[in-house]
Amino acid sequence: MKKKTIIPPRVLTIAGSDSGGGAGIQADLKTFQTLGVFGTSAITAITAQNTRGVTGVFALSPDQVSAQITAVFPDLSPAAVKTGMLADAAIVLAVAEQIRRWKVKRLVVDPVMVSTSGDRLLEPEAVEAVRKKLLPLALVVTPNLDEAAVLAGGRVSSWPEMVAAAERISALGPPYVVVKGGHRRADADDLLFDGKTCARLPAPRRTGVRLHGAGCAFSAAVAAALARGDDPPTAVRRAKRFISRAIAGAFRPGAGAHTLRWGK
């Protein structure tokens, strides 16, 4: 008897390309492959970067980004979508339009603003477009502490400040907010807010490691779990376990930041 071919769920990442291979589209596709979903992509910008930093950002036109998304959806029908680096306001608006056009229900927004090396990856005027046009379409949004501070307004470092930021971001539209605590000094605990209650997602901190691409991989893992049928809280917890393992095996492929070690 001929063995039946099992087709994995498809997931679309809309993000920038990292020539160093540790973040962006490259990190997303590695995460998708590791977690057993079929990855598709729409590239928003090409970055010239390595483990030490970003030396160039070359944004595509909104029409070029839209064309990629339009090519993917009718044929591959992604079960979930994640966004990463969107570069500028025009691309944010184009992506939001496509999300509405294709009636995406499982959207994970990673509001990428600044790289690990401190290089800006989102123009300041695009932040308001993310807040007003993209976040209301998201099912899950995954800011780190700095991104949460920008989106919510105000300082975010302590646990009470993380709670307050999650509540303010939730008011912008997304039903689930994950404020990532990876930049905290005490621990790497994340906060999951479902619009009513907060849950702490604990994780030990790995000291002496400057990570590159962890936020990209985490949001990609959430999207992968959603595509496989998990509800958002389960998807977030599954992604947290995945990223903790990947961080535990992190290594330095170059002279700068550490990258994740992909694998189950």
Question: What average pLDDT does range 145-171 have in this prediction?
Answer: 93
Does the structure show a pLDDT above 70 at 178? Answer: yes
Rounded to whole angstroms, the Cα distance separating 117 from 79 reads 33
Give the Cα separation of 169 and 184 in Å (integer).
Answer: 19
pLDDT at position 193: 98
Categorize the per-residue pLDDT at 157 as very low, low, confident or very high, splitting at 50, 70 and 90: confident
Residue 173: pLDDT over 60: yes
More confident residue, 209 or 44: 44
C-alpha 64/C-alpha 70 separation (Å) is: 10
Residue type, 118: G
Expressed in percent and rounded to 5, the helix, strand and coil fractions of the chain are 40, 25, 40
Residue (of 89, 114, 74, 81) closest to 14 by Cα position: 81
Q: Are strands 80-83 and 10-18 parallel, antiparallel or unpaired?
A: parallel
The reported pLDDT for the residue numbered 147 is: 92
Instruction: Place 117 in a pLDDT band, splitting at 50, 70 and 90.
Output: low
Q: Is pLDDT at 198 greater than 90 in this prediction? A: yes
3-state secondary structure of 68: helix
Alpha carbon distances (Å) from 47 to 20, 121, 229? 9, 9, 33
Judge whether 140 and 108 are in contact, CB under 8 Å: yes
Of the candidates 145, 156, 212, the one whose C-alpha atom is nearest the C-alpha of residue 183 is 145
pTM here is: 0.95
Please state which CATH number belongs to domain 11-145+210-251: 3.40.1190.20
| Mean pLDDT computed over 96-117 | 90
d(CA 50, CA 17): 11
Of 80 and 263, the one with more pLDDT = 80
Average pLDDT of span 202-211: 80
Pick the most confident of 83-92, 114-123, 203-212: 83-92
Per-residue CA distances from 164 to 15, 64, 110, 152, 254 (Å) = 28, 38, 19, 8, 38
Contacts of 213 (CB under 8 A, 6+ apart): 18, 22, 23, 24, 27, 116, 259, 260
**Residue 263 confidence (pLDDT):** 77
Domains in the chain: boundaries:
11-145+210-251
Residue 47: both structure tokens together: 């970055």
> Quick one: pLDDT band at residue 211, thresholds 50, 70, 90?
confident
CB-CB contact of 253 with 241 (8 Å): no
Token pair belonging to 141: 């949004």
Sheet holding 10-18, edge to edge: 53-59, 38-50, 10-18, 80-83, 107-109, 140-141, 176-179, 190-193, 198-201
If you write DSSP's letter for every residue of 72-130 in order, what string do you get? HHHHH--SEEEE---BSHHHHHHHHHHHHHTT-SSEEE----B-TTS-B-B-TTHHHHI
Confidence of residue 154 (pLDDT cuts 50, 70, 90): confident
Structure confidence at residue 113 as a pLDDT band (50, 70, 90): confident
Question: Could you tell me the pLDDT band of residue 163, with boundaries at 50, 70 and 90?
Answer: very high
pLDDT of 118: 59
**Would you place residue 60 in the very low, low, confident or very high pLDDT band (cuts 50, 70, 90)?**
very high
